[in-house]
A and B are shown apart, each in its own frame.
Chain A
């Protein structure tokens, strides 16, 4: 092997930076310095060319590996099995229609395309369908409800009010507002803050008989208007009622009958507005 000592201090320094330069990880200023040196130093420029060539070859070689034909189906099948098991065991009611949030990430952030196997594409379409049935302002509530009730950790049972309050921090009074409005037949399962797609939510989940209802609050953004009163929508088997409260949008979304879902929202409207307004 050829042994060369780089006595030139500049060359030595540049050689150390070439790896980060190649990965585009240098600051603009440092990269410009390296650029200048490369223009005047054929040896360092050749070294960079060698590094680039190796990277291109490694990439090509790695991509020459064929994915085994059956893998896609095997993954889809394993997920399908797991999904059936989970929907049967937990949040069963909500899960049946809604697993799709999984893929919601793809449409939600709009930066990613596709996510899970083609067998789930049908469900993906279902949530897409669900969301497309409602005004844009409702989409966050639909997604947040589905996401936490399908994929969130399973609650052991009703959550104690003190614990629920801890989960909400400054918005702790919402626990009492929501449980009072919901009445004695409903029990509170979850009260937490969640984030999705760069958006923060205050999320409370109630169980009433066989049904699951979410109360979802999120900061209102431009163009998301629900009007002065109580607005409602339907997405598949889910009923949604929403209203504006101060800087927030508040939603009740559930698989309860439409009248009951509206009743819950109506009971919460005044106290939630008084608290957030």
Chain B
């Protein structure tokens, strides 16, 4: 079951809950199993992730209490140099920052940067346009860097200390 780990890890980040993520992965395989006649024999991994995204969508709707929080575009579109990425970032710090991203950005960052799907594949999975994939990805990456820099500030780590030649 080579895709199980990838599906679980993605579900785990997307739902930010290990127990729900496990249930969701079971649901993905059941749906895949039941709708196998819709599989066209192409890319099986992308097909499974498309089912995953449908399940994630349903699950979020089921438990959703608050509306989705989108990042203020004003902040994200400013023409500033993004903060440098520290060298010594721990996995934990990254995961915390990732979990803190608004869902639409987090999903696209996970699908593009971790799972390495193409914009086209992601657009099909999420039923959005390629342009939307592109803008969510660039905003997601930028927002992630901001958060990691903010965390460094909270921990008293100078974000400029290890920074590149940004000045």
User: Interface residues, chain A, CB within 8 Å of chain B?
Assistant: 1-6, 12, 19-20, 23, 25, 42-43, 46-47, 49-51, 53-55, 57-65, 67-68, 71-72, 74-75, 78-79, 82-83, 86, 101-102, 105-106, 108-109, 111-118, 147-148, 150-153, 194-199
* B100-153 CB contacts (< 8 Å) to partner A: 109-110, 112-114, 118-119, 134, 137-138, 141, 144-145, 148-149
In Å, the complex CA distance between A30 and B121 comes to 21
Q: Does B4 contact A (CB under 8 A)?
A: yes
Shortest CB-to-CB span from A232 to chain B, Å, is 26
Do residues B1 and A68 form an inter-chain contact, with CB atoms below 8 A?
A: no
Shortest CB-to-CB span from A36 to chain B, Å, is 20
In Å, the complex CA distance between A17 and B34 comes to 41
Q: Does B165 contact A (CB under 8 A)?
A: yes
Residue among B36, B39, B164 making CB contact with A49, cutoff 8 Å: B164
Of chain B, the residue at the smallest CB distance from A54 is B85
Query: In the assembled complex, which residues on chain A have CB atoms less than 8 Å from the CB atom of B98?
Result: 58, 61-62
Q: Does B95 contact A (CB under 8 A)?
A: yes
Residue among B29, B36, B94, B159 making CB contact with A78, cutoff 8 Å: B29
Do residues B149 and A78 form an inter-chain contact, with CB atoms below 8 A?
A: no
Of chain A, the residue at the smallest CB distance from B10 is A62
12 new A-B contacts, CB < 8 A, other than A68-B18, A151-B37, are: A1-B149, A6-B79, A12-B79, A46-B166, A49-B164, A54-B85, A105-B39, A105-B41, A111-B43, A116-B33, A117-B4, A197-B41
Majority SS of interface residues in chain B? helix
A-B contact pairs, 15 of them (CB 8 A): A2-B81, A25-B134, A46-B164, A58-B144, A60-B91, A75-B29, A79-B29, A101-B36, A105-B44, A115-B3, A116-B29, A117-B4, A118-B1, A151-B36, A196-B41
In Å, the complex CA distance between A53 and B148 comes to 13
Residue among B2, B89, B141, B145 making CB contact with A19, cutoff 8 Å: B141
Q: Digit string of B41-62 for contact with A (CB within 8 Å is 1, else 0)?
A: 1111100000000000000000
Shortest CB-to-CB span from B117 to chain A, Å, is 10
Do residues A46 and B165 form an inter-chain contact, with CB atoms below 8 A?
A: yes
Q: Digit string of B84-99 for contact with A (CB within 8 Å is 1, else 0)?
A: 1101010110110010
In Å, the complex CA distance between A111 and B98 comes to 32
Q: Which of B41, B94, B109 has most A Cβ within 10 Å?
A: B41
Do residues B33 and A102 form an inter-chain contact, with CB atoms below 8 A?
A: yes
Query: In the assembled complex, which residues on chain B have CB atoms less than 8 Å from the CB atom of A63?
Result: 9, 114
Shortest CB-to-CB span from A37 to chain B, Å, is 17
A19 and B33 in contact (CB under 8 A), knowing A72-B1, A78-B26, A117-B1? no
Do residues B89 and A57 form an inter-chain contact, with CB atoms below 8 A?
A: yes
Do residues B43 and A112 form an inter-chain contact, with CB atoms below 8 A?
A: yes
Q: Digit string of B19-45 for contact with A (CB within 8 Å is 1, else 0)?
A: 000100110011011111101111111
Do residues B79 and A71 form an inter-chain contact, with CB atoms below 8 A?
A: no
Do residues A25 and B166 form an inter-chain contact, with CB atoms below 8 A?
A: no
A23 and B13 in contact (CB under 8 A), knowing A55-B113, A72-B4, A106-B44? no
